[in-house]
Each structure stands twice: as structure tokens, then as C-alpha cells.
Amino acid sequence: MKLPAALILFALCPLLSAFAQPNIILMMGDDHGWEETGYHGHPHVKTPVLDEMAAQGLRLERFHSAHPSCSPTRASFLTGRHPNRMGTFAPGWSFRPEEITVAHVLSKAGFQCAHFGKWHVGTVKAGSPTNPGAMGFHEWLSHDNFFELNPSLSRNGGPPQMFEGESSEILVREAMQFIDRVRKDAKPFFTIIWFGSPHEPYSGLPQDLTLYDDLPAKYAKSKVRLTSNETGAPVTRPQGEVLRERYAEITAMDRAIGMLRKHLAATGLRDDTLLFYCGDNGTSADGSLVRPHRGVKGQMYEGGTLVPGLIEWPARIKAPHTSNVVAHTSDLLPTLCALTGQPLPKRPLDGIDLTPVLDGTMTERPSPIFFWDYNTARFNGIQTPPYIDPKQQEGTTPLAKLSGGKATRDFRNVRHPGDIIDADFLGPRAILDGRHKLVIHDGKKSTEAKIELFDLEADAEEKTDLAKQQPEHVQQLQTKLRAWQESVLKSLTGGDYTK
């Protein structure tokens, strides 16, 4: 008997629904550390929206940035690879045009892709080989670096234009407009929103500053050094004043995320949209107040890389839960490849597929994660040709903080000489394997290196060094770390780009 087409379609609906592409929104705060959320018990900062996401979705308690600073982490976020593989060693170092980003992958899967906010892995201007458009995004409203109130942003590579208002709200409104346009074409969307908050220098709206009016008096004696919004130069200020402004930025960013969530709900998109939030590195030293973990931004300890990690996706994550699986920003690309049925790029990746974490079936990471702040002094005194034409690396979008008298930022990336030497392996580095973390800081001689071993389950604050008690374990972890570094250096010399 021949069944009616309508009946066949009805029978297939559940199957089709199971394989429908989710919409994807990936958000990231700038210098927003793990502890600066209400749901982690911060004594002052107010984040009601992030708190609600933590209560209703998947809370990633051991989520890390791949590097303790911003440009490198952003490179890992986009590519699934450690930033040293592509020469993104530090803030202001670009990645390379040959890299394959998550936007490249999802564009092939039929997604409309857009980037909003901080880019910081190259220039955003037209013609740049590493602007968002060149790296897979269909449209963008972006900045070369960070920004405050009334930001200057470049739309699709055009000349910078000032947008009046609170920057997080501006980005979210632009993202909502993009989402509404894509919905009319019945296409899935992939949206990255990289906020400029709460990176210093700080500024806030009166309504948000008022929430923290008690802090200047509470922390009047402590002084911190940061950028002056008025002069763009360094200034020393009472920490209480600085915290008031910093937390106002976090609260404004939190409110903007709430606007986005409400818009998804109002348009019927919330159930089928994966909404993710993390920070790009730990809290900066000027804003660090509560230290449940050792270290701050720029350091290899947990306080330098542990960040908030939250996922909402009601169609897939039906009940709230918390995961203690170690994860990091390099995991995003492999996870989205798995969710959308796309093949992984054919090159070494440092991330893994976290879809079992979404479902609660993974309880322990099967492989270590590595951290490495490459020592760029290796290039001192030798000819290192630029990887990208320096003219294309000249930034255009101004910011408050001056650098060499300039309000814009230029980028760099260099060609590795090709021969791997001992100096290539230097720089603060770490391996996190299960409950144990090995941290290495170089000394003037190889025999003077500071090697520390921590049991993070028993000692989350990294106070007790176990290296002398467990020399065999230290050696095992050092061997794994060295082998991984060799793989990274092969990538750095261009080995991944040859056919």
C-alpha cells in the first residue's frame, strides 16, 4: 500500500528535527575572570543574567582560556588550535591567513556568519587577509582591539564609525538585527559577540555605577595602575574607584546578554539556539580583588586562565547541570563540527569534541590540555621576515589607550627561521592532565627552571608544590609537554599549510 506523502512527512518529522542545525551564538567577555560572577559568590559584582544561565543551563566549572592573554585565546577560539601554532604569541600578534576558522566550517554548512565586537587577531579593515570577512564571516561590525562607551567600529571593513551608547548593548542590538534578517531567509545563523568589557580603562553608565557606590570607601587605601580615559596614558588610582567602574561594565554586559536572551525567546528561537559565554583570560591585576585561585591575567596559574563557562540550549540541554570536565577555548571548533556534521580541518587540533559534556556522559577529559606563553625573545638579533605585509597589519579603529602616541593598534606575525633550537621551547608553560598540573618557568640556565606540580582537586589554589615528592610523575608530564611542543613548533614553521 502506498502511504500518502503527508503521512510519510509526519512520520519523519521527529527524525528531521533531531538532525536540524541549531543556531549558534558564541559570546566572550574581555578580561572577565572565573570569580567575577554572582553565581561564583563574588562579594560585590552583580550578574543576574549569567547567574540565571548558570542555574538553567550547563555550567562549565573548569573552563579555561587557551592562553592567559587575549589575542592568543581568540585565535584558539576560532581555530581549535593553540595560538603558538599560528604565531599568535601575545596581544597584538595576528594569526595567519591559512588558518581554518569555525566560520569557514559553518559557512560551508549553510550558516550565515557574523562577528560583532573585539577581533584582535588582525586588522578588521577591508583588504586585510585576516579580517573577519577573509576568515569566513559574511559580515562584521568589529574593532581591532578593545573599546569603551561610544565605540568606534568598522562595518564590513569600512572606515571606523562612532556608535553612541554602551558598547555591550550596541553589539547585542546589531546581533539581533542580523539574526532577524537571517531568519527571513530561513537559514541557521552563527554569531560571535566579543564584548569590549570589562577590559580597562573602565567606564560605566550612571545607573550601573550607582550599584557600586560603596566600593571607593571600602578599598580607598589600595592603589592600582591602569589607563586614564582622559589622557590614554598610565595612571595610578584608588582601587575602589576602579572596581566601581569595572563592575559597572560587567553588569552592563550582563544586562545586554539578557536583552539577547529575551529576544531569542520572543522570536521563538531560544530552544534551538546554542548560547555560549566565556571570558578570554583571567582577571587583570588592576581589577583583581577576590582570589580563590592563584595568579591573574598573563600568568600560567589557574587565576590566569580559568574563566566563566556557560551554555544554554534548551532543545539539547533539557535540565540544568554542572560539569567539572576540564575544557578550554580550543574545544569550540571540534564541538561545533560534531554538532553540525562537518569534518574536522585536516591539521593538528588541540581541542576535542565536548558534545558528551552537553549530554552529561563525559565525566573526565580523555587527554591533557597545554598552556604555553612563547618566549618571543627567541627572535631577537635575527632576521624574521613579516608573515603578512606590514601595511595590511596597520589598524584603523581608535581606542582610549595610547601606544607609542597612537590611538590605533598595529599587528605583527613573523616567519619562523625554520630550524628548531632549544630557545624555541622556552616561555612559561603548563600541562593540565586529570587532577594534576605541571607549571614550568624558565631560569637563566636550564638547570634553574622552576618546576611546580599541583593536585588541583586537593589544592585548587595551587599553594602546595608536590614536584619534589613525585619526581617520576613530573618527568612523565614533562615528556608529554615536550612532545606537544614539538608538534606545535612543526605547525609554527608552516608544516600544516603544505599539501
Question: At 27, is the secondary structure helix, strand, or coil?
Answer: strand
Cell for 142? 568589529
Domain ranges of the chain: 18-365, 372-497
Angstrom distance (rounded) from CA 112 to CA 403: 36
pLDDT band for 498, please (50, 70, 90 cuts).
Answer: confident
pLDDT band for 198, please (50, 70, 90 cuts).
Answer: very high
How buried is residue 247: exposed, middle or buried, by Cβ count under 10 Å (0-12/13-18/19+)? buried
CATH architecture type of domain 372-497: 2-Layer Sandwich (3.30)
Digit-coded pLDDT (tens) for 211-254: 999 999 999 999 999 999 999 999 999 999 999 999 999 999 99
* Residues 266-272, mean pLDDT to the nearest whole number: 97
Domains 18-365 and 372-497 share a fold: no
* Residues 262-272, mean pLDDT to the nearest whole number: 98
pLDDT higher than threshold 80 for residue 445: no
- Residue 459 has a pLDDT of 97
Question: What are the backbone dihedrals phi and psi of residue 28, each rounded to the nearest 5 degrees, phi first?
Answer: -150, 135
pLDDT band for 450, please (50, 70, 90 cuts).
Answer: very high
- The answer to which of 194-203, 285-294, 411-420 has the lowest mean pLDDT is 285-294
Question: At 404, is the secondary structure helix, strand, or coil?
Answer: coil
Pick from 317, 321, 347, 322: nearest CA to 334: 347
- As assigned by CATH, the class of the 18-365 domain is alpha beta
Determine the distance from the C-alpha atom of residue 362 to the mean position of all C-alpha atoms in its chain, rounded to a whole number. Answer: 23
**Secondary structure of 272-329 in HEC code, one letter for each residue:** CEEEEEEECCCCCHHHCCCCCCCCCCCCCCHHHHECCEEEECCCCCCCCEEECCCEEH
- Residue 21 has a pLDDT of 85
* Residues 430-434, mean pLDDT to the nearest whole number: 97
pLDDT band for 448, please (50, 70, 90 cuts).
Answer: confident
Question: Are residues 372 and 76 in contact, defined by beta-carbon separation less than 8 angstroms?
Answer: no
